[in-house]
Amino acid sequence: MDVTKFFQNATIVVNMLGVIGNAIMICVLNKWSMGGKLPNILFLAQALSDLLVCLQSVILMLQPKLWLTHNWTSDQILCRLWHSQFLYWLTVQMSIGNLVLIGFERYCALVYPLHYQKWRSKKVAVTMFISNLCYNLVLSSPNIMEGHLVLNDTQQHDCITNKYETVVLEQLMLAYAFIWFIFIYLVGLFLLVFFYFRIIMALKHSAKMTVRRSCVDLDKVATSNGLRTSFSKQSTLSVGGSGMAKPIPRGSTSSVNAHSQFTRIAILITIFYVLCITYDAISYILGKNKIIQYDYGSIEHTLGMFTVSLNSFANPVIYFGFVVRQSCVRRVSKSNMANLYICCRGSKPIVVVNSSAGEKTDFFKTKNGKMPRIRRNRSRLAEAAEDFGQIECYSSNSDDRTLSGENRSSRELKTANV
C-alpha cells in the first residue's frame, strides 16, 4: 500500500470534516454568545482560521497546480502567494497565534478578573486580531521566496517550489526555518503551557480559599439564627427563616467547575498542539538542513500537512465541544435546579446531584450503609441559582418536608462520618 497516497486521502477526509465542523461552529457562535464580545470574537477567529487551513489543505491535495492563468504577472502572483504555500502557512500561524490569544484571554479573566473587566470589549478583540495578523504576516512573508515562475520547454509557465534561485537565498531560508521554529512553535508552546498552568493553579487556590470561607460563614449564620444542620463535627449549613442558606459567592462554585473544565482543556490542547505541530516543525528544520526530504508531495511533507490539519480539526472539538456542552447543561439545569446540593465538610465540598425534582432521592451514603432521604423544593432552588455554576447550601425548616425518618423540628440530619 502506498503510504503517501494513504495520508493524502486521510488528510482530505480530515480537512473536509474540519471544514464542516468549523463552519458549524461559526454559525453557532454568531447566534450563541460565549460569555462576552472578547471571547466570542476570539472563538470566531479561531474557527475561521481553522476553516481556512482545512479548506486550503483540501485544495492543495486535490489540485496542487491549480489556477495558472498563462499571464506572466498573475501567474507570478499566484506562484508567490499560493503555490509557495505562503497563504496556507499564514493561516496555520494565525490559528496557532489565536490559540495563544484565547489562552491569554482566559488567563486574564481568571487570574486577574478585576483588570479583565475593564478591557473585555470589541475594540480590544479587534486589536488582538490585528496584532496576531501583523505578527504572522511578518513571520510568514519569507515563504513568498519558496516559489518562483519559469518558462518550461514548451514555453508554458511553471511554478518551481523548494528550489531557490541563488545560494544566498537558500541560506536565508535556512536561517528563517530556525526563526520560524523559535517564534512560532516554541514561543506558542511556552505561552500555552504558562497560561494554562497559571489558570489551573489560580483556580485551585481560589476554590480552596472560597470553600473554607463559605463554610465558616455558613457556620456563623447558622449559629446566630439558632439553626444548625450538622453533617459532621466540622461542617454546617446555614438557614434563615425561609429555610434557604446564604448563597455561596459566585466565584467559589464557578471556580470549582471551571477548574475541572480548564484542566481537561489545558491537557487536551497541549497534547494536540505538541503532537500535531511538533512533527511538522521539526521536519521543516531537518528538511531545510537536507537531513530528510521535505519537498512537496514527499511522505514527510504529506504527513506534516496531515498533522497540521488534524490540529485544525481538533481545535473546534476541544474548545467548542466543552463550552457548548456546558452551555447546554446550563440551559437544561435552569429548569431543574432542584437536583443540586453542596455540603461543606470542613474545607472539602461534597457536591451531590440527585435525579428528578420533587421525589425522594439518595443524598449520600454513610459508612454503615444507611441512606438518608431528602425531598427537595424545586421552586426555591430554581429561583436561587442564576446558572449552573452557582450552587446553594440548603437545609430544612418547619414549612418544608425536606427530611424523612428524622425529627423535622430539630432541623438536623444525623449521619456518620462520610
- Sequence-distant (≥ 6) Cβ neighbours of residue 253 within 8 angstroms: 342, 389, 390, 391
Residues of the chain with pLDDT > 70: what percent? Answer: 59
One-letter identity of residue 417 = N
Residue 16 near residue 56 (C-beta atoms within 8 A): no
One-letter identity of residue 175 = A
Which pLDDT belongs to residue 51? 95
> Nearest-5° angle of CA 59, CA 62, CA 63?
80
Considering only CA atoms, which of 276, 332, 223, 289 is closest in space to residue 99? Answer: 276
The torsion angle over the Cα atoms of residues 105, 106, 110 and 112, rounded to 10 degrees, is: -20
More confidently predicted of 149 and 208 = 149
Highest mean pLDDT among 130-139, 169-178, 196-205, 214-223 belongs to: 130-139
One-letter identity of residue 406 = E
Highest mean pLDDT among 59-73, 330-344, 348-362 belongs to: 59-73
Q: Looking up cell 516554541, which residue turns up?
A: 186
Highest mean pLDDT among 67-71, 80-84, 197-201, 294-298 belongs to: 80-84
Q: Looking up cell 526563526, which residue turns up?
A: 179
| Confidence check: pLDDT of 57 > 80 | yes
Provide the total of helices (H) and of strands (E) in the chain, helices listed first. Answer: 11, 9
Chain centroid to CA 183: how far? Answer: 22
What is the pLDDT confidence band of residue 414, given thresholds at 50, 70 and 90? very low
Q: CA torsion sign, 13 to 19 to 22 to 24?
A: negative
Beta strands in 147-196 (DSSP E): 147-151, 157-161
**Averaged pLDDT, 57-61:** 87
pLDDT tens-digit readout, 231-271: 333 333 333 343 333 333 444 455 445 545 656 666 787 77
**Averaged pLDDT, 66-75:** 79
Which pLDDT belongs to residue 162? 75
Q: How far apart are CA 413 and CA 418, in angstroms?
A: 13
Going along the chain from its start, the domains and CATH numbers come out as 3-211+252-334 (1.20.1070.10), 229-248+339-410 (no CATH)
Whole-prediction pTM: 0.68
Residue 307 near residue 275 (C-beta atoms within 8 A): yes
Residue 16 near residue 9 (C-beta atoms within 8 A): no
Residue 226 near residue 378 (C-beta atoms within 8 A): no
What is the pLDDT confidence band of residue 52, given thresholds at 50, 70 and 90? very high
| Confidence check: pLDDT of 135 > 90 | yes
| Confidence check: pLDDT of 62 > 90 | no
- Under DSSP, is residue 374 helix (H, G, I), strand (E, B) or coil? strand
- Under DSSP, is residue 150 helix (H, G, I), strand (E, B) or coil? strand
| Confidence check: pLDDT of 339 > 90 | no
Which pLDDT belongs to residue 67? 67
Q: How far apart are CA 159 and CA 150, in angstroms?
A: 6
pLDDT tens-digit readout, 374-401: 334 433 333 333 333 333 344 333 333 3
What is the pLDDT confidence band of residue 20, given thresholds at 50, 70 and 90? very high
- Sequence-distant (≥ 6) Cβ neighbours of residue 133 within 8 angstroms: 94
The torsion angle over the Cα atoms of residues 172, 173, 176 and 177, rounded to 10 degrees, is: -140
Estimate the share of the chain in helix, then strand, then coil, as percent rounded to the nearest 5.
65, 10, 25
